[in-house]
A and B are shown apart, each in its own frame.
Chain A
């Protein structure tokens, strides 16, 4: 290539790669991601009537919209439901999925690849396909409008994912560690409990955080199984504002903020774990 043209082109590229450009790109990226959230927050600080003022900032910031959503409409109960459902789902899924992931990372057995393929397919199976069956099964067993019903759905949704992620984490622990533990005097279960599990704890934390967030975000099954205040989750409750004849936008935004804050806090505190979990889950 002729050097002058090369130099000229390269100068354009160098400019594109410069620190300033990088930070400008990232500024717009953050604006794009965070902007909508900020707007929801600003909306939630108005009264339901004040959303009709076409100002950008609320003139008289107030928590009245939160009062309407949480107390008057009683959606604080949905928050409690969400906490209970997400926590119990996470505990159940991690307790069942972690040992399974360990087995897939270590042991050969008859049809092992077939069983693992089954787990992978379960994970990739579109949940919307099972909404109709779940809707019917829940009716038959009287689980409609119950927290248990939603928890069962969460087990279906996240167990295969957790098995897969935990398997990927366990693979990074050398087999020789289990073997050393067994020669040192452990049963297979003890080798898992005293040696392999402690080593894989960060991965376990990542799996736990991810499962909690996924359960917290979930809408389809929570919405299908329950729209009763006794069991519905906060994302479902927030959605129900839309069905009203006139939407109380500020209260809807307030409920949305309440539904988002726990997720956002988890992200702020556990960003590293989420990143390892997401890349670990998408690995391969």
Chain B
């Protein structure tokens, strides 16, 4: 996840909890949304959700499908009515207001361009329907089109456009309104991989320029990490964690976030913990590690924390040959290499603990330098970065976060 860590940010942007004095632009308060199924049963899509989104902030909702992120967005837009709770935009409750009466604009997953209107008519539509005078409409269309670089497409129809162009038109239709809040519902999911990354960068630039409060829904964690000022990780209709991308990655609040954020996903091992003199001894079927005294201290502070699982990201492993300094026995792991997947800049190894025999379910993943001379079927020695080990208690909470 180096692109996250290295990403430079302009100074003064609200990134952290402290120092944020800008106003709340969008407030979601105790919102619950229940749906009634055909058989009469009730499904809770969003469960008692509360969140403040600050002015000009870019918030990304991420989670697996069915986690309630899109429902939340649609509730904000006014396309769904919350079962309980309240939504405030720019301080005013919007309960009972139609989508058109809320100051929001939305970009849809399939763009939802009007096929019978030209690009120009599509972009102008939000103003035309609001009866803006023609000259104002013309001027704003020109500005918007220039911002997005789609001036030459104005007289074409959506069916003549490529996916990326359609995406830009959809953006234009949202931008021209100059709304209080932008809503994005998985807007890049229909683009091919290369274009998706291009558009991601462009969205980033666009947000820097337009600087409007944005709520963005995606299931793609790379989009979440690269776009977000703050990431909201959701599962089962509940918020799992809200924080800046780095924190969500480095200190996931619980086992769900730990497993969801990061690619390849974090490895989890059932663990037993002993307090030893040299620190905290973690014993699993795959390895035995000694964690630093500071970790032990943190655990001790959490009195009675019953640690049952340990999580290690694939990136936290390193082949021993490439560790410069002599490796401390206490963080050494030995395993059989079952599969090597060369990824170009590095190798992904599928490993099986030495004592595991034929048990495939015991396998885990490590991401190591491409210079590692690993051989399929042979043993390998790896070192674990013990600063990047996560401990989870029986309820799935991260003890160290």
Chain A contacts to B: CB under 8 angstroms: 174, 176-177, 179-187, 190, 194-195, 198-199, 201
Contacts and interface: CB of A to CB of B under 8 A. Distances in A.
A175 to B, nearest CB: 9
Nearest to A197: B116
27 contacts: A174-B112, A177-B112, A179-B77, A179-B79, A179-B99, A179-B106, A180-B114, A180-B173, A181-B114, A181-B125, A182-B78, A182-B79, A182-B98, A182-B100, A183-B99, A183-B104, A183-B183, A184-B105, A184-B126, A184-B129, A184-B177, A185-B125, A185-B130, A186-B100, A186-B129, A194-B129, A195-B114
A184 B98 contact: no
Chain B interface, >50% SS class: loop
A182 B110 CA distance: 16
B114 A199 contact: yes
Contacts of A185: 100, 125-126, 129-130
B215 to A, nearest CB: 13
B108 interface: yes
A190 to B, nearest CB: 7
Contacts of A177: 112, 114
A25 B176 CA distance: 60
Contact of B110 (A174, A187, A190): A174
A194 B130 CA distance: 13
B114 A183 contact: no
Contacts of B112: 174, 176-177, 179-180
Given A177-B114, A198-B116, A187 B109 contact: no
A201 B183 CA distance: 30
B115 interface: yes
Nearest to B130: A185
Contact of B173 (A176, A184, A190, A199): A184
A270 to B, nearest CB: 20
A195 B100 CA distance: 15
Interface in B79-116: 79, 98-100, 104-106, 108-110, 112, 114-116
A183 B116 contact: no
Nearest to B102: A183
A109 to B, nearest CB: 12
Nearest to B36: A108
B108 A187 contact: no
A180 B100 CA distance: 10
In the A-B complex, the 7 residue pairs with the closest CB atoms: A180-B112, A176-B112, A184-B126, A185-B129, A185-B100, A182-B99, A198-B116
A151 to B, nearest CB: 32
B125 to A, nearest CB: 6
A195 B108 CA distance: 16
Interface in B41-57: none
B125 A184 contact: yes
A39 B147 CA distance: 69
Contact of A183 (B100, B109, B110, B115): B100
B99 A176 contact: no
